[in-house]
Structures are given as structure tokens and as C-alpha cells.
A and B are shown apart, each in its own frame.
Chain A
Amino acid sequence: MRNPTKLIILSVLAVTLILVFLFTDLGSNWDYILPKRTMKIISIVLTGSAIAFSTVIFQTITNNRILTPSIIGLDSLYLLIQTFIIFLFGSTNLTLMNQHVNFFISIVLMILFSLGLYHFLFKREGNIYFLLLIGLIFGTFFSSLSDFMQVLIDPNEFQIIQDAMFASFNNVNTELFYVAFFLMGLATLYFLKFEKYLDVLSLGKDTAINLGVDYDKVVQRLFIIIAILISVATVLVGPITFLGLLVANVAYEFLKTYRHRVLIFGAILISIIALVAGQLIVERVFTFSTTISVIINFIGGVYFIYLLLKESRA
């Protein structure tokens, strides 16, 4: 099977799932349910694309297929911000507090953090692995801080935080869409300038420099794009970067190419399929008794064990 055919199959599957999600079991209140479902589907498509997209770029610049952008600690930073707000102001204040404020504080802090991390490290010898290592340590530090505050607060308040700890499409704030959409659009437009470098970057740093890529600059810009995409996706639905690892690797396995145009597109489609299918199962089979993270982690885990077994036999 050729790659265009594979992409068409993926697209058809994604569209079918979306239609199934939108139009089955509509019931009589369709004028209420349909707009709600549409919003949900848009948020799924947005976050799914952002995660798939940024994970593929991240794995290319790190030349490593088992890393996800969560390694630089953005997920933990998000949880820390949420915990800290509740720790300081209490959950009642959080609900009163404008959602937009929370959204902007989180996004700005997360992007600033990644830029600060990057800037600080790249003023010295530019080594991407050093950056990851520091990010890893920061991530652990953030989770420990969050844990510490979570232990201190009232158990009822803790439940509110727990809500934030799992990715969920059930309570996405629709008003924030436009902002998220806008930010992601900007990041994507900016990315188009660097798209051509990705294939070369996957050959490794030395070869990329040899072939005329201004390595430090290009990697820095890509890193900024990743930070924006991940931050927006996380703030919109919660920590969800685990999904990237799964869809990126499924895309590599399924498409078997080095061309990023195909890979990114494929990974985005696979991501949408996984999320919509997962959401369908959560809503229609388990009737909301579980979250989509659980389902995707379960399927992803099984798939990874399969990959490991297959690799070890070869």
C-alpha cells in the first residue's frame, strides 16, 4: 500500500468517527446536543493535532523516538500552577475567578518557563540533551512541590485539583477556543517556515549542519513552537502529552517514511482517530465512568508491549 492511499484511509476513518460521534444517539434535543458535541469535537481535533504535531517535531530534534515534550516538565508545571492557585485562594475562589485569567496565567507561565529554560541553556554550549536533563529535574521538582501542597490542603479542595490531573474533553471551556485556535494557528504558520528542515534534522546534528541548516536557530524556533502547542493543548484539556508518544510511533510504524510532511499529517490523523474513538468509548460504552486518559493509556500500553516484543524478536 502506498502512502497517499494510507493517508486517505486514515482521513476517511477520522471523518467517519467524527460523524458517528456527532450524529448517533442524538435524541430529541438535538438543537442542544449538537452544538455541544461540535465544540467537543473541535477541541478534540485541536488538541489531538497539537499533541501529534509537537511530539513528531520534538522527537526529530532530539533524534529519539521514545521521548515526548512532557519531559521538559510542562505537564508538571501546569499541575503546579493549578495546585498553587487552589492552595492560595481556595477552590471557591477558583470557580469565581475568571476562567480566562487562569488560562492566561497558565499559558504565559508555561511558555515563559520553556523559553527561559531554553535561553538559559543555549547561552552556554548548545546541547539539547542537557536541556532535557534540566527539564526532567524541573519536572520532578514541580511535581514534588505540587504533592507537598496537595497534602496540606483540604481533601475537598484536593478533589478539584484531581479534576485537573486527568485530561478530559467533558468540561472544555468553549470561550477559550478562539484564543487557543488563534495561538495554534500562529504557531503553525510560523512552523511552515521551518518545515523543510525537519527531514534533514532527522539525520542528526552534524549532518544537518553540513547540509547548511542553521542548527541552533532552527532548533530554537522549533522548540518555541512546541512549547506553545503543548501549553495550549494542556491548558485546554489537561495533561495529555502521553498521547503523543503513542500516535507518533504508530505513525512511524504505519507510514514507514522519513518525510515529515507525510509523518506529521499521518500522526495528526491517527491522533484524532484515537481521541474520537476513545471519547466514544468513554461516553457510549462506559457512560462517563472512566476518563479518556485511562483508555488511551491502556491501549497505548498494550501496543507498546507489542512493539517491544516484536523488536526483541527481530
Chain B
Amino acid sequence: MIKVKNLSKKYNDKAVVNNVSVNIKKGKITSFIGPNGAGKSTLLSAVSRLIKHDVGEVMIDKKEINSWKSNELSKKVAILKQSNNLNVRLTIRELVSFGRFPYSQGNLTQEDWAKVDEALSFMELHDIENQFLDELSGGQRQRAFIAMVIAQDTEYILLDEPLNNLDMKHSVQIMKVLRRLVDELGKTVILVIHDINFASFYSDYVVALKNGEIIRQGPTNEIIEQGTLKEIYDMDIPIKQIDKCRVCVYFA
């Protein structure tokens, strides 16, 4: 379980994340939602040790994040940031094989390659595995990066806006993959997401941030609710029930 306790992060005296405490349940999808600048990405980066937090603690399986060995932690927690511009030219297969670095330190064994193949087939990338990343569409690239994270074979998978710049079809594809990761492989997925409808359809828990603080958290159907959304976004968002799913109509 990931436990965040009284976490704060300041940039030049401005608190981006302020005294945040949250528990992330295992084997579920948890979405961080909230307006721009709410501190969602910063919180996610602190939980994944990409940035160091100032105050508070992040416990990953009962051990403080800073006392984990870097290499051990990378077998436990994987993070995928939103912009993945590479300076090197790699094929999909090469990129995915990097996911095995924590285990192989660069010298991949047969078992490692088996994991790479597994990840490639999970993301249905086998047909194009030898294409270079810079020849791919945005959706294919995103799938390749997720495949790398799957090959990393961690319990926790953290994603920062995985749907950024993707069209509806690819967004749905990615979200379905995340759902499968949780339901079939028993992973724990935490993601920052802007579209509250995707959060509503696919996540089990929602954590809502605003101005660096958590203002609401709970099971999805408790948060996707008109009064709560008004509190988060300062907008009146009507909610329609369609086949047991709640759809937020926020366009008008």
C-alpha cells in the first residue's frame, strides 16, 4: 500500500502541494483529478521519487520512499510522465527492453526477453515492434511507453496524464488496458487525468485536489456528483446516468 502523510512541496515559498495525506488502495485504479495547477502532477512525482518532497512522508509498503534503494524501488513502482521526447532513436522493442533494466542492468536474460514479449503482446505491439518510435503516431508511442512500464513488472504503475493529446479511440484503448492491468494482472494503477468522464468510467477511487490540497477523496460514485464537482471546479456540471455510468456534461 502507498501511504502519503502530511506531504508538502514548495517551489520558492509557494506551496504546490500542501499537507496532503492519502492512502492508495492496492489492486485498484485511483485517479487524481482537479483543475490546472492543483498539484496533481507534483504529488504523483513525489510519490514516485522523481522530485524530493520537503515535509511529510511517503510510505511504500511500510518503508519510507527515501530509505528504499533506487534499484529495488524501480521493481516496485513505475512512473510514466506525460512528455516522453527521446533524444535517441529506438525501436519499440528496444524501448520495451529498457523496462527490464532494474532486473538485468542492461544484460537481458532469456527470462527478461520473455517479459518483453509478454508486454508487447499485452499492448498488441508485436506487429510493429521493429518500427522506430519517431515513425509512430501519438497513440502507438504512448502504448509503447506503457509496454515498457509493463515490462518493468512493478506492483504500482503511476501515469501522469496518459491520455494527453490522444483521440477518443486511443484514449479508450489506453484506459481499457489500464483496467486490464488491474483486473487481470492485479496491478495498482494511479493516474493523473483531466477528463472527469474517463475518471468516472474507469477508476475505482478518485482523489480531488485543488490549490495543493486534497479537498475530496473516495469511491468514484461519491466524487462524481454535482455538489462535489462544483466544489472542485467551480462549475455547475450536470450529471446524467447512462447504463449505470455517470456522465458529466461539462460543455455548457
| A256 nearest CB across to chain B (Å) | 7
Interface residues of B in 59-89 (CB under 8 A from A): 70-75, 78-81, 84-89
Cα distance A270–B84 in the bound complex, in angstroms: 31
| A246 nearest CB across to chain B (Å) | 18
- Answer whether residue B94 sits at the interface, using C-beta atoms and an 8 A cutoff: yes
The answer to whether B81 and A206 have CB atoms under 8 Å apart is yes
| Across-interface contacts of A202 in B (CB, < 8 A) | 87-88
| B38 nearest CB across to chain A (Å) | 20
The answer to whether B89 and A256 have CB atoms under 8 Å apart is yes
The answer to whether A210 and B79 have CB atoms under 8 Å apart is yes
Most buried by B among A206, A210, A214: A210
Supposing A196-B106, A199-B106, A211-B101 touch, asked if A258 and B70 sit within 8 A by C-beta, the answer is: no
Other-chain contact of A203, B49, B74, B75, B98 (Cβ < 8 Å): B98
The answer to whether B106 and A210 have CB atoms under 8 Å apart is no
The answer to whether A258 and B88 have CB atoms under 8 Å apart is yes
The answer to whether B88 and A211 have CB atoms under 8 Å apart is no
Contact with A along B135-167 (1 / 0, CB 8 A): 000000000000000001000000000000000
- Answer whether residue B102 sits at the interface, using C-beta atoms and an 8 A cutoff: yes
Other-chain contact of A212, B85, B89, B90, B102 (Cβ < 8 Å): B102
- Answer whether residue A17 sits at the interface, using C-beta atoms and an 8 A cutoff: no
| Across-interface contacts of B80 in A (CB, < 8 A) | 210
The answer to whether A211 and B152 have CB atoms under 8 Å apart is yes
- Answer whether residue A112 sits at the interface, using C-beta atoms and an 8 A cutoff: no
- Answer whether residue B48 sits at the interface, using C-beta atoms and an 8 A cutoff: yes
- Answer whether residue B105 sits at the interface, using C-beta atoms and an 8 A cutoff: yes
The answer to whether A212 and B101 have CB atoms under 8 Å apart is yes
The answer to whether A200 and B98 have CB atoms under 8 Å apart is yes
Across the two chains, which residue of chain A brings its CB closest to B148? Answer: A207
The answer to whether A258 and B71 have CB atoms under 8 Å apart is no
| Across-interface contacts of B90 in A (CB, < 8 A) | 258
Cα distance A214–B101 in the bound complex, in angstroms: 13
| B242 nearest CB across to chain A (Å) | 37
Most buried by B among A65, A203, A209, A211: A211
- Answer whether residue A301 sits at the interface, using C-beta atoms and an 8 A cutoff: no
* Count of chain A residues near B, Cβ 8 A: 19
Supposing A204-B87, A212-B71, A212-B73 touch, asked if A258 and B94 sit within 8 A by C-beta, the answer is: yes
- Answer whether residue B172 sits at the interface, using C-beta atoms and an 8 A cutoff: no
The answer to whether A258 and B152 have CB atoms under 8 Å apart is no
- Answer whether residue A128 sits at the interface, using C-beta atoms and an 8 A cutoff: no
| Across-interface contacts of B74 in A (CB, < 8 A) | 210-212
| B21 nearest CB across to chain A (Å) | 24
- Answer whether residue A170 sits at the interface, using C-beta atoms and an 8 A cutoff: no
| B207 nearest CB across to chain A (Å) | 21
The answer to whether A213 and B70 have CB atoms under 8 Å apart is yes
Other-chain contact of B87, A65, A212, A256 (Cβ < 8 Å): A65
Across the two chains, which residue of chain B brings its CB closest to A198? Answer: B106
| Across-interface contacts of B101 in A (CB, < 8 A) | 200, 211-212
| A84 nearest CB across to chain B (Å) | 38
Supposing A196-B105, A196-B106, A211-B102 touch, asked if A63 and B87 sit within 8 A by C-beta, the answer is: yes
| Across-interface contacts of A207 in B (CB, < 8 A) | 81, 84, 98
| Across-interface contacts of A210 in B (CB, < 8 A) | 48, 50, 74, 78-80, 152
| A2 nearest CB across to chain B (Å) | 16
| Across-interface contacts of B87 in A (CB, < 8 A) | 63-65, 202, 204
Across the two chains, which residue of chain B brings its CB closest to A209? Answer: B50
Across the two chains, which residue of chain A brings its CB closest to B73? Answer: A212
Cα distance A207–B85 in the bound complex, in angstroms: 11
The answer to whether B79 and A212 have CB atoms under 8 Å apart is no
Contact with B along A45-70 (1 / 0, CB 8 A): 00000000000000000011100000
| Across-interface contacts of B79 in A (CB, < 8 A) | 206, 210
Most buried by B among A63, A202, A212, A214: A212
**Can you list 14 pairs linking A and B with CB atoms under 8 Å apart?**
A199-B106, A200-B101, A200-B106, A202-B88, A204-B86, A207-B98, A209-B50, A210-B50, A211-B98, A212-B75, A214-B70, A214-B71, A256-B89, A258-B89
Taking beta carbons and an 8 Å cutoff, which residues of B are in contact with A? 48-50, 70-75, 78-81, 84-90, 94, 98-99, 101-102, 105-106, 152
10 tightest A-B CB contacts, nearest first: A212-B74, A212-B71, A258-B88, A214-B70, A212-B102, A211-B101, A196-B106, A206-B81, A202-B88, A210-B79
A211-B101, A212-B74, A256-B89 are known; give 20 further A-B pairs, CB within 8 A: A196-B105, A196-B106, A199-B98, A199-B106, A200-B106, A202-B88, A203-B88, A203-B98, A204-B85, A207-B81, A210-B48, A210-B152, A211-B99, A211-B102, A211-B152, A212-B71, A212-B102, A213-B70, A214-B70, A258-B90
